[in-house]
Structure formats: C-alpha cells, structure tokens
Structure 1
C-alpha cells in the first residue's frame, strides 16, 4: 500500500496552508473592552483568503464587529452538493447510545431529504473580507461547481472509469472496480468503488497535482507523502470513530489516489440541514456537534490542524447516527506558533486573522465549531448584532436551552484567549 511514482515540491491551490510564524503568539493578558453597538455590513460569500499582514494601528472593538459580520440579513445558506462522495462505514469500535426520540425524529427528517451520493455544494463568487492590510492575491483558488450529470469535466477526463480500468496491473485502481462519479471539486473527483478482493464498498478520490502540491514527512514513512494523505494518516493514529478512514492510497505522476471508507447510508450534514428547512432541532445539533468536537479534539491531539471543519465536511450515517469528519485538503501540521495564511471557508474564518493577520490552530478550531453550531441551529451565519451580543454573553435564541446558548457564547468570543480549550468543550454540560 502506498506505492509512489513521483515526488512534488509545492502545494496545491485547493490545499493551501499557512506558513507558521514562530515568533507570533496570542496574548492572554489583553484587557477586555466593551464594544460599541455595531453597524451591519453587506453579506459575503465563502472564499479562500490567501494572505494577510498585521497592521500596527490599534483596532477598536466597534471596528471588529463592523466587518466581522457575515451579513445583516438572517438568511439560510443554500447548499446543493459536495465532492466527497458518500462513504461506507467499517471497523466500528464503539457506538454512542442514542435515545429513541432522537432516532424517530431523525428518521422523519431523513424522509424529507433524498439520501443520495454526497456531492460538493457550490460556493458563490469569491469575496474577501477586510484584513489588517489589503490582501495579496497570489493565484487565488478557483471554486468549481459540480459537473452536470453525464458531463465530464476537464479534470476528470483522464480519470474516466473506463480508462482507469485499463491502466497497468501495478496501478491501485486495478484492485478496485471504479463506478460512477459521486462529486467533484476544484482539484479532485470522487468515485464510488468496490474492492475486488472482498466486494467491500469504498470511495476512491483522485486529486490532480499541480506545481504547488506539497509533500511532507511523517513518522513510519521513509519518503514524503502528499500533505492531504499524510494528515489523514496522522489523524487516524489510534482508536477513532469520528474521522474518515484512509484504507489505501498511491502517488502517481499527475495525481494521487486515496481509497476511503464509505458509509452505507450517509449524507453530508449540509444536505440534512437544508432538507429540514435550513436548521435542525437542538437534539440533532447536539449529536452532530458531539461527533465534530471529538474529531476536532482528536486531530489536535495528534498534531493535525484540519482547517476546514464545516457542514459540508461532516458526514452522518442515518442508519446508526454516526458522524465522520472528512477532507484534510486545507489542513496543516499543528504548531504552537501562529499561522499567517488562512486556507478554508471564509464564513468560518477566525476574527483574529481579520484583525491581526494571524491565528493559532486550536483557538481557530474552537471558533469554527461555534460557527458550525450556530449555523445548524439558527439557519444562517451570525450577523453583526449576534456577534455583539455573543461577545457580551447576552445572546440567546428562544427554544434553545440555557446550556446551548452558553456554549455558543463561549465558542464565539472575539478574543481567542477567552475561548475554552477543546478538552473542556468535550466535557461541557450541554453534551
């Protein structure tokens, strides 16, 4: 497993990660300031922020809320499809007990949603939020919609299933029957597959390599691996049920191939939420948040910064209510020093990056979990006034429990040092 045919030096646009800055760190002694009532700003779309540099001029708290907002209108974000493909579950080590009410309610939701293969939801026009200084656009990643049914994109023309099955015998694809395409993104395509040795259902992901594709070295592997492959391997070190498993992989000249587990009755959380009218009940949000938090904590404990935890990158198995975190394409090795480059979805970008041009992996992950929870429960991303009240610990939403509102206020604090550690979140009373 893991044959290699080439080695590349740099890193793909779709997988850009930040270069750590060893001299930067977050201050834990900064004095708190009460912000002024913020002013709403225009709604933005998802994007990749390639770079930013800190500005010496001190920002006022009111300025933070002015352009931290995700939009003044409380509006549900519509997602259509995803590029990861539905995955099949295997090697389940533990199972969290679920209540009968949760089982019945989730089944009623799933009946209103077509359970089909997972596809990547298209992202709208790229719009970059203000940073400490004007951003430098260095080969900004192009967001790509799914190819229409029956149409083959330029990316996947050399990866057509008929051509894949005709490759030499030493090719990894000869060990799998490659089926139809499940989804496609800017630099990768996912196909359904069947392992010929035992008929096991898998998902086969092809990622096209570019001059920016980066390889890194990890323990127990003599040669550098593509970063996405290496991070997925590291995240799966030890027992874990909340992160997608990498079953096989191979590095080829123009692309690398990843064989991933495939859940039999899965869909991405974005589709589940949108199929239920844009938001879900607190009991289901608790279930999904629990899986996402365990996955995020496991990643950080194993030295991995995922970088793009969001609704579209979480799969839920509707049969046994298990959650999986997928897609480490925007990830990096977790460092103690600050990152000065953000690669991910702009709606989940931590505020310290917008204000100072840098962020740390663990507090940024906590912020991302807060945005995830808010979006599932409210049906929209937090706007200016929501963030103002959250920072003042006065935010609440009718129908939510006090513990849930308290958790959201804790996760979405403006200052990273005021956010709880991931270990504390796992043991929060709300769960």
Structure 2
C-alpha cells in the first residue's frame, strides 16, 4: 500500500513507559517460550484459532463471547471483564498482517501499530475509547468500550431511510467535531463513512475503527485507503492530496446519506461529473453546507471550521422530540444487551443477545463495492479494503 510515512521526520515518538503513563495503560510484552522451535512458532503464527488470539494476560482479564466482525487484519469480538462482568469490544490484530508502513517505533524500541499508538494519545467524547491493550506473540488485543448496543450509522440509515434534518444535524455535528479534533492533533482517520460511526439510544455518536488512521505529513498522499463512495473527485483522478480536504468530502457524503437515506452518487463517473441533487424538502441551509463540503474545487471546498460555523449544524434541536426505538422500529423490551454487564449465574450465561431485535425482519442491504480492493482502469488509484468491518462477518472467518 503506497502511503506516506506515518510520522513526520521531526516528530518525537513517545517511549513505551511514556505511553503507559499518558492514559494509564500497561504495555505487557509477551514472553516467548524458548522450548519452541522457530518451526513450531511459524506454525502457530499461521493458525487462526481463537486460543492463539486470546492467550497471554488478556485471557486473565477478559472472556470473549461472540465474534461480531472480521477483516484482513484479524477480527472483533464481544467480550466481558472477568472482574466486573462489564461488556467490552475486543479487536484482535494479527501482527503479521499489519503493513510495514503502519508501525511506529517508540523511543525504547517497542513497535506499535498506528491504530494503538493513536488511540492511546487521544480522548474525545465522540471517539471510541480504548480501555486497554495487550499482546502475545502473534496478536495485539485492543479492548474498547461497548457504545450502546453497537448500531452503526449504516444500520441506522437502513432502518430509518433518512432522518429529519434537525436530528441529522445533531448527529452530523458530533462527527464533524470528532474529525476536527483529530485534525487538530495531526491525525487522519482515512475511512470516514456511515459504518464507522456508532450510536446509542440517545443519539450519542462515536467514531470507530482507526485501522487505517495515520499522521499528517509534509508530503501528500498518493493512494486512497477507504471506500470509493466516500472518495473525492480529485483523489479519484489520481491527484496527490493532503488529507483533511478528502475527509471534509467524506463527511459531506455521510451527512447526505444520513438525511436522504441514499448515496449522492451511484458510481465513480457520477462522483467525477454530476452535481448534487436535493429533494424539494431540503432546506437551503443544508444545501449550502453540502455544496460547500462537496465542492469539486479543493481550493473552494469548506474546511471543518467552515462547517462547524454553518447555520445548519448549529440549529436548535429538541432531542426529546425523537424516540430512538420508534425511529428504528425497535422493540424496546427485547433490547437485553443494552445493559452494560454480562449476566452470569454461577458461571453459565443466562441471557445475552448479540444482534439488534427488530420488530420487522428485513434483508441486509447490499453494500456494492464497499469492501473490495480494485483499480481504476488507468491504474492511478488503488482502493484499499477496510481492515475490519463491524456487523459483517466473513464467511471464511473463524
């Protein structure tokens, strides 16, 4: 994957001891079994058994419950703490699958993937919180908070088919604030889309999945890592880009989909050529914001600060007017897993639901080309599939 270096040449990289102090994390390095031959270790590394992922100090503190996602880097499990039974989400990242340019070396020589290094250093009310992380010989084990019952914006939009503008503005502003915070710390998320935003039943949004995240550098990026429906036209044409202007476009697409329940463009050709179309009911303030965020001229495109100062994002919203369960057609009494703790009775599980209890059954929406790698015919841009996809489990995954 051809991307720029993750850290500026002059950036000071924290040592492992500093990392542990910054957010009360403990870096626990694995102890290798000297009795095992390299052949045995290689054999174990190639395995994908759950036991291999969970071994080490992680297993002393958490118990996995059910797989809820998978991808090229590893997989995601619902889990709970052995001490407090609190439900968490654990992302298992296979070390051998992390790209060479997606590592950061700390001052004391400890190597961490960008995702872990970045999540340790940031904290924001609209960004998923990493509670702790561990590692064994072959996996990093990222323990993250479980936000609500895990519904992402894709699923939310699928059930609502678009939301009223005031509610859309409330959710959208949270996303803009989260990404603005990242940019202020020199960080690019690089995979902004509806599937990477999760909601709770109070419409509190959080940005997730930092598997593609990296640091801004003086050098422009030459490749796009994300989902093509959220890619800006200049990047589709193969032009180098800094990053923030692409993420403004991606947020604009997300807002459009959230409010209107459909993508603004149906393919690459439309992204490159077509103007935005709005329904007759769309407010002038919303049209002004989206036309600014999705301006094809990079020089004239809104910045995130422009967006945050817009009338549409700052409109008065009365959240009491909106009931999450009615909007999503959810059966409130069946949401057993809304509770944050794992229910135990002398060890066995009494009750734990791990899928959303809809009143109406419906087939999952088709996701077109979201999770595939492909090249534009001229070879100018390569699209990298997302490392981990929540709510969509691979048929080949364990």
Q: Give the structure-2-normalised TM-score.
A: 0.62
Q: 1: CA distance between counterparts of 2:87 and 2:6?
A: 42
Asked whether 1:158 is paired with 2:49, we answer yes
Helix, strand or coil: the match of 1:260?
strand
Q: Map 1:9-408; keep pairs closer than 5 Å.
A: 16=1, 18-19=3-4, 157-159=48-50, 167=55, 170-210=56-96, 212-213=99-100, 214-217=102-105, 223-236=110-123, 240-277=124-161, 279-318=162-201, 320-383=202-265, 390=275, 396-408=278-290
Helix, strand or coil: the match of 2:206?
strand
CA contact (8 A) 2:2 2:222 kept: no
Q: 1:174 to 1:164 in 2, by over 3 A?
A: farther
CA contact (8 A) 2:103 2:112 kept: yes
Question: Aligned-pair distance for 1:246?
Answer: 0.7
Question: Aligned-pair distance for 1:19?
Answer: 1.6
**Structure 1, gaps ≥5 residues long:** 1-15, 23-153
**Structure 2, gaps ≥5 residues long:** 8-44, 314-398
CA contact (8 A) 1:311 1:372 kept: yes
Question: Aligned-pair distance for 1:388?
Answer: 5.6
Question: Aligned-pair distance for 1:430?
Answer: 0.8
Q: 2: CA distance between counterparts of 1:399 and 1:357?
A: 36
Counterpart in 2 of 1:421? 303
Q: 2: CA distance between counterparts of 1:412 and 1:283?
A: 20
1:203-253 deviation per Cα after TM superposition (whole angstroms, max 9, x unaligned): 11111232635311468x8623111111222332xxx10000111112332
1:377-409 deviation per Cα after TM superposition (whole angstroms, max 9, x unaligned): 233322367876748xxx542111111110000
Helix, strand or coil: the match of 1:417?
coil
Q: 2: CA distance between counterparts of 1:216 and 1:303?
A: 15
- Does 1 or 2 have the higher relative contact order (CA < 8 Å, sep 6+)? 1
Helix, strand or coil: the match of 2:234?
helix
Of stretches 203-212 and 398-407 in structure 1, the one that deviates more from structure 2 is 203-212
Q: 1:406 to 1:157 in 2, by over 3 A?
A: same
Counterpart in 2 of 1:87? none
Q: 2: CA distance between counterparts of 1:344 and 1:292?
A: 17
Q: 1:158 to 1:386 in 2, by over 3 A?
A: closer
Helix, strand or coil: the match of 2:198?
strand
Helix, strand or coil: the match of 1:340?
coil
Q: 1: CA distance between counterparts of 2:82 and 2:139?
A: 22
Helix, strand or coil: the match of 2:282?
coil
Helix, strand or coil: the match of 1:291?
helix
Aligned residues: 271
Q: 1: CA distance between counterparts of 2:258 and 2:148?
A: 23
Question: Aligned-pair distance for 1:177?
Answer: 1.8
CA contact (8 A) 1:243 1:295 kept: yes
Q: 1:388 to 1:378 in 2, by over 3 A?
A: farther
Counterpart in 1 of 2:324? none
CA contact (8 A) 2:126 2:206 kept: yes
Q: 2: CA distance between counterparts of 1:17 and 1:304?
A: 18
